[in-house]
Structure 1
């Protein structure tokens, strides 16, 4: 019997990132799929028994339940054997990873998600149209964030966001950048440092990156056919 239960949906960026981390570090878990598109996170059982926030990811460790992606990351590094480079114990190296994890909330995650919602999710799945000028504003905000990743985070001369070795910051960022791809926008276009970095992240995390993004890849492939 496994110690952990992991509640997730691979359409969720943070869920994909944690899935990759768990798999690549060989941490066994019981997969508990929550279909967000069907609203399973709003069911009374999920609200009352799993997460009062009605969101994924959720980690259930015996009698302890924890939400929020970064909190789960830090808990896992304390409770399990995880390769140090993912979230280093060294204070300064850890602070570099934290620097991106804190920055991404109101930048990568916020702006890529808002663009994805209004360019893909609302019109295609919800039947809600967005005004062109509003969509242009979401796109502009996202592009400003992408340029900062290219010029500031990846423009430091390091191979990865927090240094010369891959960390959880890279997994999380890469998963966020998959969202606009589903809306037909490629974040790497015109950003060669980002393109090279993304390729390194995918190679370092094979085959689990591909496993985590299987649904995303299907959506992207379908987009290219339309």
Structure 2
């Protein structure tokens, strides 16, 4: 089985999938997709890679042409990550990330991954942060007020829920499902929130989230895959940070 990952490291779900591939020690071929300039809408991508026209996308090639299905494509990061945990060579290690054989434990992971869509992902600020970074100075404050502030306000509700939940697992290295090892739920939401931490936002009002995110972000594979977003965040902070509500947004 050969894995081909079509993704971009400025995409939160793309990073989550790539980090998991590395955590599971699964070899893959990397294909960078310029999603910002519409490459996912190109006919070759929509036809041969992912009909949903989104990244990340995983193409699985069988080892031989005699197999029933020589190639298959998978879209949506959650589906990809669950698949990887089911086919990873090290089954015990994969089960720490996604306990597929334990119905109750896997349901808890699924719960937080489903919750992620409407409570964290829905308030993704990075697209608007990039717009602010690239726009004329005279429009930057307007974008902060009209585009970014509503997303910040919306995200606070999800952050409050996470903070309260993590307080129940107030250990030195908390996880969303209370286990000693992080799960796909931790990885999914951590990649989402780290996107704005890289720019310079801090979760001062949410100390349990800050501690949990810091623990996940210290993992070596997380750091390696996040280098591009850290560099992009530094550039934005240095050039447009004065227009962003970095200190007060989540204080």
After superposition, the Cα gap between the structure-2 partners of 1:212 and 1:52, relative to the gap in structure 1 and judged at 3 Å, is same
Identify if the C-alpha distance between structure 1 residues 222 and 99 changes in structure 2 by more than 3 Å, giving closer, same or farther: same
Given that 1:182 and 1:223 are in contact with CA atoms closer than 8 Å, whether structure 2 keeps it comes out as no
Residue 28 of structure 1 and its aligned partner are, at CA, apart by 0.6
1:157 aligns with 2:166: no
Select 1:64's aligned residue among 49, 69, 72. Answer: 72
- Give 5+ residue unaligned stretches, structure 1: none
What's the secondary structure of 1:99's corresponding residue?
Answer: helix
* TM superposition shift of 1:7: 0.6
Q: Secondary structure at the match of 2:143?
A: coil
Please report the RMSD computed on the Cα atoms of aligned residues, expressed in angstroms: 2.0
**2:85 corresponding residue in structure 1:** 77
Is 1:24 matched with 2:23? Answer: yes
Does 1:168 pair with 2:184?
yes
TM-score (norm 2): 0.80
Greater length-normalized contact order (CA 8 Å, ≥ 6 residues apart): 1
* Residues 78 and 45 of structure 1: CA distance in aligned 2, closer, same or farther (over 3 Å): same
Q: Which has the larger radius of gyration?
A: 2
Question: Deviation digits for residues 6-53 of structure 1, max 9, x if unmatched?
Answer: 111011111101101000111011111112233221222112211111
TM-score by length of 1: 0.88
2:150 maps to which residue? 137
Between the two proteins, the alignment pairs up a number of residues equal to 218
Deviation, 1:179, is 2.3
Instruction: Identify if the C-alpha distance between structure 1 residues 104 and 138 changes in structure 2 by more than 3 Å, giving closer, same or farther.
Output: same
Q: How far apart are the structure 1 equivalents of 2:83 and 2:148?
A: 37
Q: Using a 3 Å threshold, how does the CA distance of structure 1 residues 223 and 78 change in structure 2: closer, same or farther? A: same
Assess, with a 3 A threshold, how the Cα gap between structure 1 residues 131 and 181 changes in structure 2: closer, same or farther: closer
Unaligned runs of 5+ in 2: 62-70, 240-251
Post-superposition offset of 1:86 = 0.1
Structure 2 equivalent of residue 180 of structure 1: 196
Kindly indicate whether the alpha-carbon contact (under 8 Å) linking 2:199 and 2:230 is maintained by their aligned counterparts in 1.
Answer: no
Query: CA–CA distance in 1 between the matches of 2:201 and 2:193?
Result: 10
Q: State the Cα distance separating 1:184 from its structure 2 match.
A: 4.1
8 A Cα contact 1:116 1:182, kept in partner: no
Kept in 1, the 8 Å contact 2:33–2:40? The answer is yes
Q: Distance in 1 between matches of 2:105 and 2:177?
A: 8
Preserved CA contact (<8 Å) 2:24 2:88: no
